[in-house]
Amino acid sequence: MEPPREESSVTRPPFLDGTNYGYWKIKMQSFTSSVDGDAWISVLVGYKDPLIADAQGKISPKVRFLWSHEELKKDTNNAKALNTIYNAIDVGQFRMISSYKTAKEVWEALETTYEGTSKVKQTKLIMLKSRFDSLLMQPDSSIAKFYKEVRDIANESFAIGKTYTKFNMVMKVLTSLPDKFAPKKTAMMESNDVSKMQMEELIWSLQTYEMDIKMQDQNRGLAERSWNLSFVSTKSKSDDENDKWVGPGGGSVARAVAV
């Protein structure tokens, strides 16, 4: 039976469904650390059962009741980390990694399965960088949608070892805006130190400008419709007047229409 697939929980680890590994990896790091910081360290550095040498120098596994407090703690940390991962995967994934005895081995096996070898990772990073560099905001898109696209690529890259700095992200957004944002972009780059600009501040400012543009477009549309209606009404009255003439007795008579 699979663990409950909750969107967010402080008591259950995020669930790996086979398609969300990048997202899952980042959340699992945070979740495991929240369970026990030393448990996450066990994932990073690995774990080995204690060994002991006899009088002849022969090395063998140390009997558990002879383990020191520190050795017992390291074993517990590995067990906590393993339990956290086990509860975040389904039966098929568990069968794939069940032969491994340490959390580090399990973590690396899942990493290779979903991210590939270092060569595959490098290829993915090149592809993601190409997507990042070529991504532009389309004229009919929105700041929120475009920022999500930029952030998704950055998150995917982070999951396999590439971090885009705050400055990288700010410059990417500023240099990828359509022409309608040109006045705002120029003003921001002239009046602010871009290297110190916060991404949240940038997005808020651009969304405010975006709303102003939409409001101006709406007002312009209303004005044009009002002018068109006024023009049609005036033309209709003028046509009515032209269709009448003053008769011999001074009365208004409808003009005859030739057939």
Other beta carbons less than 10 A from residue 47's beta carbon: 19
Other beta carbons less than 10 A from residue 100's beta carbon: 16
Closest CA to 173 of 157, 158, 188, 190: 188
pLDDT at 4: 47
Query: For the CA atoms of 73, 77, 79, 80, what is the dihedral angle to 10 degrees?
Result: 130
> What residues form DSSP beta bridges with 254?
244
Asked if 1 and 86 touch (Cβ cutoff 8 Å), the reply is: no
pLDDT at 210: 93
- Work out the mean pLDDT of the chain and round it to a whole number: 84
pLDDT at 18: 85
Distances (CA, A) of 90 to 24, 95, 150, 159, 221: 13, 9, 31, 21, 55
* Average pLDDT for 169-187: 93
b (16+ CB within 10 A) / e for 166-191: eeebbbbbbebbeeebeebbeebeee
Digit-coded pLDDT (tens) for 29-51:
999 999 899 999 999 999 999 99
C-alpha 218, offset from chain centre:
31
> What residues form DSSP beta bridges with 61?
51
pLDDT category at 122 given cuts 50, 70, 90 is confident
Q: Which one-letter amino acid corresponds to residue 221?
A: G
pLDDT at 15: 94
